[in-house]
Amino acid sequence: MFSLCSKISMGQFVGIKPNEVKIDKSIFEFVDKATIKLPITARIKRDGEIITTSIETAKQFKEGDFVKIELGYNKQYYSEFEGFIARINFTQPLEVECEGYSYQLRKKTLLKTFVNAQLKDILKFIIEGTDIKLDADIPIFKIEKMVLAKHNGVEALEMIKKISAGTIRMYFTGKILYAGLLYLPPKKTVKYLIGWNVIKDNNLKLREAKNQEVTVNMIGEKKDGSKVKVITSSGKAGTRGETKVIKTHAVTDEATLKAMAAAKQKQLSFNGYEGKITAFGSPYCEPGYKCELGDNKYKERGGNYIVESTSVTYGMSGYRRTVGIGAKL
């Protein structure tokens, strides 16, 4: 018998009992999101005793309050989210919108011009003065020019994604920020067996590399009008595949362009299944994990995949984790 349990703290309050919780994370988004639904009135307990009459729940919290969400079964908890209150919606039930550590970057105003700078050095400047730490595995990536003219930290990260033509992935694991062209080697593994600990698998779709032949032309354009061109291909794009041409003024370093082209080609061309599965809250899983997927009925669906996203729901309907899988490892 599994009994749901939660430990939620917001601001000065702990042991908050929610109506519903929803948490969304992705390796393609650096903004982790959580929504907590609460009764519009509540009573405060101290040492197990009720010490107030009914109070208005909304008045007990404010934007910027720290939030921590732990969920689980039978008093075994998983740390699902850390962040801050971003908005309080006066609905019924009360809805509290929360944002991960990217929230701290919205409060910064940045003014600096970078020339021939490394990605890691730019990120160090962006996160300065926050609780955010950089992942140790951020790769070498040279940016020719980037101008921060009173941008906030979130806008700066979006600018980096645009400069890289979407090849840089940035996401948080707690307060640790990763940014890079390729998936990090998975540090942890989760095992799912369809028909056992998977509730729904009807969103899995087969994607075959032979139908995804892609040639990527990455072109860096210099100030003097000259161009640095890099081509990477997964097949004969001229016959039945496609050709992607990507131009950038911010990156002209050939090694960086090659890495960008390879990352974009891998992103557009892989063999295996993609889509989502819905599982129970346990085992724990988050974006960046390796998913060992087993299927006794359709063996070809089995294999190791990168976890691209997770969406956690918790409430009267139970504790569920929807897992988005991507490239086969």
pLDDT of 212: 56
pLDDT of 144: 86
Question: Which amino acid belongs to residue 117?
Answer: A
Of 275, 271, 279, 272, give the one whose Cα is nearest residue 324: 275
DSSP three-state, residue 12 = coil
For the segment 201-224, what is each residue's pLDDT rounded down to a tens digit?
Answer: 888 887 665 555 677 776 766 776
- The neighbouring-strand residues paired with 179 are 170
* Structure tokens that stand for 144 in this block: 């020719």
Q: Mean pLDDT lowest for which of 118-132, 229-243, 265-279, 289-303?
A: 229-243
For the segment 251-283, what is each residue's pLDDT rounded down to a tens digit?
Answer: 767 777 777 777 777 766 666 678 999 999 999
Residue 237 pLDDT exceeds 50:
no
User: pLDDT class for 311, splitting at 50, 70, 90?
Assistant: very high
Mean pLDDT of the chain: 87
Cα–Cα distance, 321 to 307 (Å, whole number): 12
- The neighbouring-strand residues paired with 273 are 206
User: pLDDT class for 238, splitting at 50, 70, 90?
Assistant: very low
Q: 230 or 93: whose pLDDT is higher?
A: 93
Of 167, 190, 17, 10, give the one whose Cα is nearest residue 83: 10
Average pLDDT over residues 162-180: 89
User: pLDDT class for 53, splitting at 50, 70, 90?
Assistant: confident
Cα–Cα distance, 84 to 10 (Å, whole number): 8
Cα–Cα distance, 85 to 272 (Å, whole number): 39
> Counting beta carbons within 10 angstroms of the beta carbon of residue 66, is it exposed (0 to 12), middle (13 to 18) or buried (19 or more)?
middle
pLDDT of 210: 54
Locate all alpha helices (DSSP H) within the chain, ordered by sequence: 102-106, 119-127, 153-163, 254-268
Cα–Cα distance, 301 to 204 (Å, whole number): 9
What's the pTM value of the predicted model, to 2 decimals? 0.86
Q: Quote the percentage of the chain above a pLDDT of 90.
A: 59
